[in-house]
Amino acid sequence: MKTLKNWIVDKQSAHHLELLADNQHRVCLYVLEENLFRVLIKRKGALALDRTWSIAPKQDVPWEGRHRDDLSGFSCPAWSLEQQDETVTISTEQLRVTVHQPLWLEWHYRNEAGDWQPLASDRSTSAYLLNAHGDGVAHYLSRRKDERFYGLGEKAGNLQRNGKRYEMRNLDAMGYNAVSTDPLYKHIPFTITRRDDVSYGLFYDNLSSCWLDLGNEIDNYHTAYRRWQAEAGDIDYYMFTGKRVLDVTKAFVRLTGKTLFGPKWSLGYSGSTMHYTDAPDAQNQLMNFIRLCEEHAIPCDSFQLSSGYTSINGKRYVFNWNYDKVPQPKVMSRAFHDAGLKLAANIKPCLLQDHPRYNEVAEKGLFIRDSETNVPERSSFWDDEGSNLDFTNPQTIQWWQDGVTTQLLEMGIDSTWNDNNEFEVWDGEARCHGFGQEIAIKHIRPVMPLLMMRASMEAQQRFAPEKRPYLISRSGCAGMQRYVQTWSGDNRTNWDTLRYNTRMGLGMSLSGLFNVGHDVGGFSGDKPDAELFVRWVQNGVMHPRFTIHSWNDDHTVNEPWMYPGVTPAIRGAIELRYRLLPYFYTLLWQAHADDEPMLRPTFLDHEHDEQTFEECDDFLLGRDILVASVVEEGQRQRRVWLPDNETGWYDFYTHEWFSGGQWITRDAPLEKLPLLVRAGAGLPLSERITHVSAEKDTTRELKLFPVKGTGTTTGMLFEDDGESWNYQQGNALWLAWEMRCSASAIHVNFTRKGHYQPAWHKLAVTLAGNDPRTLFIDGKEVSRDDAHFCLPTLQ
């Protein structure tokens, strides 16, 4: 590749500066926000791809993509320009970039004292490279010793990415090693760089396969560096700052789009296994799941139909019902609905070459096309070859939505499970419709699953416009949080997977994917033993997505009751999940409304505590619950670091209080998941330990964990009907509380917004432990036996 070297200032506008590099390439520097800049290089003055589907400030992108020159949604503040002989500098009040000769960029941020401090810089030798004879681009930055790297979405191994090289190339990584396998399913070339004084985000808006080296590579001719390199496309990146890592994550979500606010039932237990739908009597197996949940008293809200329901002779054919296996889909759906369970159905975007509708779809031109001929491109798929649907063709979108509607939604299916959508089309020049402007697949492979899930979502919305949609997708790119819940794919059953899936989930959460989970119990490999299964369920119930799902090499099936001896422990973990559903639902609302991660590494709220940056198996659920999962065989005690905070922590079960900033050891018998609660928190709890029903959820408790001594803390509870859009008109309940603690009293004051009246009218207020202080609610002294807050009846 050829290094870009000499430049001159060429053009200036209200929002960007253009440099002309080496007499032919344009380097565009955009000022989008006070602390958000963008660098775009146009090779020979043109773009390889003139659209993006990831950048979505304020609103979603058009189907055909957002033009890269579109600056809507950004404030584009005023900026200053200073030009000298060998440099040019652009500044806002918070961020500054200086361009040097030969071409390399140096970044500074303004600290709280008002002084400019070094933020980041390109490698001063060969910072920007373009392939002179075709595709391929690269960007090199200098690497400092005091930097910690996070992000990159769904990646195996440790949460901190230093010293590793990663690849973004969406693959169906069945049975991956959660410690080391790379690449995996998702494409999110976004890093967070954390230092003691500042953090910054760097997002490469390029959808071709790429590599990010964060210190694995060393070259004697250059100082320490990090590299991003893509096989095709453009250099187009966003640089933005934050005081904390949390600020950077939230800014990235504002850049790429808000988290979908799904229905409340999506937070309940969701059953799934390939075993049922692969069985010759699939409908009987599925109906039996309902009976077994009732028999074993396992609360459940939904079931995910694996693709066996579409099979013909063992292979899978999207939108085809195998009526030998499932003779009465509508009857089956009705039975699940009568039991309070929703259904999601697996769908795949590739039609095998002998699919009953293959020729019909081919004749309509709905497939991605071969690079050399006009015939459908064929790739390996599910033990055969097939052709991938082209979701950049409006006719394909219509065909897909018709299939979702007639073959799923009209059959009583509630949601779509968009699976096997990595689009492994390795002829990079295969042609896509591009909404009328032809594009090679190498430029937009991860966009295909994004458009697939969007097509599914809009079909669901049209079919049931009064309900918020719920969808699942395995693959995708930055921005997929706008449409779906996701998970870490087809993991393998072992203790390492349990441990490192948690870190994968935290990596996704730091990268803007808040609604995540894992296949609890392991998807491939032999079944988990009883101990591993219990520990996996205990971990899984503390993730936004909680699904027990399996394929299992030994032809077994992972079910909550698979080991009678530990079924009570499994039931207890799932019941704990349902007890905490009001808390989970509030977190989902805050993820949508305030861009707050649901899963949080412990350092996210405690950056001042150096110990929280050490690799560990702990995580926070919201700000208030510290989860200390047991991830080692035979472990019956759990040593856990309590992040240093001002208020301390309570044991969730015993209510024993501990100061932060210390190691403690908690008993962890097999039936117990160690949990701590932040002092000052309030946990909204439910007594309804069965499927979600707003009408039948008639009690609510607020368990308070008051600070010792003096202090004021706040919290909130969100409630609505759990599935409609009525919250947008204020038909929801936002109940905020303030807890003021003194040496002798605890004052709790409530403020409500919204005109939703839940089925419960009285909020029972309980205090953790035997706190002797007098309790006041809204200024009135109350006894512990009658501590409650009554919602005013709305007229």
pLDDT tens digit sequence for 17-54: 999 999 999 999 999 999 999 999 999 999 999 999 99
Query: What's the CA gap between 136 and 279, in Å, rounded?
Result: 47
Pairing between β-strand 415-418 and β-strand 342-347 as defined by DSSP bridges = parallel
Query: What's the CA gap between 787 and 455, in Å, rounded?
Result: 49
Question: What residues have CB less than 8 Å from 372, skipping those under 6 apart?
Answer: none
User: 192, 226, 256: which is the final residue of a domain?
Assistant: 256
Report pLDDT digits (tens) over 550-562. 999 999 999 999 9
What radius of gyration do the chain's Cα atoms show? 27
Dmax (CA) for the chain in angstroms is: 82
φ and ψ of 562, to 5 deg:
-65, -25
Range of 748's domain? 693-790
Secondary structure (3-state) at 287? helix
Averaged pLDDT, 708-723:
97
**511 CB neighbour count, 10 Å cutoff:** 29
Residue 416 has pLDDT above 70, yes or no: yes
User: 216, 233, 256: which is the final residue of a domain?
Assistant: 256
Query: What's the CA gap between 326 and 335, in Å, rounded?
Result: 13
Report pLDDT digits (tens) over 767-787. 998 899 999 999 999 998 899
φ and ψ of 238, to 5 deg:
-115, 130
* Under 8 Å between Cβ of 186 and 541: no
pLDDT of residue 91: 98
Which DSSP string do the residues of 528-557 spell out, in sequence order?
PPHHHHHHHHHHHTTSSEEEE----TTS--
**Run of H or E including 270:** strand 270-273
Rounded to 10°, the helix 245-256/495-510 angle is 70
Averaged pLDDT, 475-493:
98
**Would residue 372 count as lying in a domain?**
no
pLDDT of residue 287: 97
pLDDT of residue 794: 61
Residue 693 has pLDDT above 80, yes or no: yes
In this structure, what DSSP letter does residue 309 have?
G
Residue 506 has pLDDT above 60, yes or no: yes
**593 CB neighbour count, 10 Å cutoff:** 14
**Would residue 462 count as lying in a domain?**
no
Closest of 708, 711, 712, 762 to residue 735, by C-alpha: 762
**Run of H or E including 449:** helix 447-463
pLDDT of residue 390: 98
What are the beta bridge partners of residue 767? Answer: 704
Which DSSP string do the residues of 124-178 spell out, in sequence order?
SSS-EEE-TTSS-EEEEEE--TT-EEEE-SS-SS-SS-TT-EEEE-----TTB-T
Ramachandran class of 111: left when φ > 0, alpha when ψ lies in -120 to 50, beta otherwise: beta
Q: Which two tokens stand for residue 564?
A: 């009678």
Secondary structure (3-state) at 396? helix
Residue 119 has pLDDT above 80, yes or no: yes
Residue 419 has pLDDT above 90, yes or no: yes
Query: What's the CA gap between 503 and 682, in Å, rounded?
Result: 27
Averaged pLDDT, 493-511:
98
User: 217, 240, 256: which is the final residue of a domain?
Assistant: 256
Instruction: Using a pLDDT cut of 70, give the percent of the chain over it.
Output: 100
Query: What's the CA gap between 131 and 161, in Å, rounded?
Result: 28
Which DSSP string do the residues of 47-75 spell out, in sequence order?
-S--EESS--SSSPPPTT-EETT--TT--
Query: What's the CA gap between 786 and 781, in Å, rounded?
Result: 10
Average pLDDT, rounded, for the chain: 97
Report pLDDT digits (tens) over 104-113. 999 999 999 9
374 pLDDT band, cuts 50/70/90, is: confident
Residue 795 has pLDDT above 60, yes or no: no
**Would residue 195 count as lying in a domain?**
yes
Torsion of CA 778, 779, 784, 787, to 10 degrees: -20
How many structural domains compose the chain?
A: 2
Query: What's the CA gap between 423 and 445, in Å, rounded?
Result: 6
Query: What's the CA gap between 405 and 410, in Å, rounded?
Result: 6
* Under 8 Å between Cβ of 138 and 155: no
Secondary structure (3-state) at 508? helix
* Under 8 Å between Cβ of 334 and 286: no
In this structure, what DSSP letter does residue 310 have?
G
Query: What's the CA gap between 240 and 48, in Å, rounded?
Result: 24
Give residue for tokens 């971990």. 539
Residue 708's CATH number: 2.60.40
133 pLDDT band, cuts 50/70/90, is: confident
**552 CB neighbour count, 10 Å cutoff:** 20
**Would residue 704 count as lying in a domain?**
yes
Report pLDDT digits (tens) over 73-89. 999 999 999 999 999 99
**Would residue 663 count as lying in a domain?**
no
- E strands, 332-432, in order: 342-347, 350-352, 379-381, 384-388, 415-418, 431-432
Instruction: Using a pLDDT cut of 90, give the percent of the chain over it.
Output: 98
User: Is the model's pTM score more than 0.85?
Assistant: yes
* Under 8 Å between Cβ of 527 and 502: no
Pairing between β-strand 486-487 and β-strand 774-777 as defined by DSSP bridges = unpaired
Give residue for tokens 């109906």. 287
Report pLDDT digits (tens) over 158-194. 999 999 999 999 999 999 999 999 999 999 999 999 9
φ and ψ of 51, to 5 deg:
-135, 160
